[in-house]
Amino acid sequence: MLCPVCHKAQASEKVEKIVDGRFIEGHVCRDCYIKALSMDKREYYYMFVTLPDKACPVCGRTFGEFSESLLLGCPHCYKTFEQELLPLVDSIQAK
């Protein structure tokens, strides 16, 4: 998997942080990992909450998993993936 932040290197590092009570994790390359360590929580939040592999803070399901199975793990997933779901729902309804 390519680093979703810089799109230049393999995402080999896992970063995890709790920001405002939400557990946020992502996979990034070594350079971005080092950057993430020195980020304040707001920067971190924007960096990882906008990633395609963002995860539901309640059940931990990632958007990648969801898009493969099209099953939500819990009611909170809908809220978590709301923005990503909208175009998906449109394309499902269009069929």
Binding residues (CB under 5 A) for Zn ion: these are 3, 5-6, 29, 32, 56, 58-59, 73-74, 76-77
Amino acid at 12: S
Q: How far is the CB of 42 from Zn ion (least distance, A)?
A: 19
> Do 24 and 50 contact (CB within 8 A), yes or no?
no
Q: Which residue, 74 or 86, is less far from Zn ion as judged by CB?
A: 74
What residues contact residue 25 under an 8 Å CB cut-off, 6+ apart?
14, 15, 16, 17, 48, 55
Q: Which residue, 33 or 95, is less far from Zn ion as judged by CB?
A: 33
Q: Which residue, 15 or 29, is less far from Zn ion as judged by CB?
A: 29
Q: How far is the CB of 25 from Zn ion (least distance, A)?
A: 14
Alpha-carbon distance 52 to 70, whole Å?
A: 15
Alpha-carbon distance 56 to 80, whole Å?
A: 6
Q: How far is the CB of 79 from Zn ion (least distance, A)?
A: 9
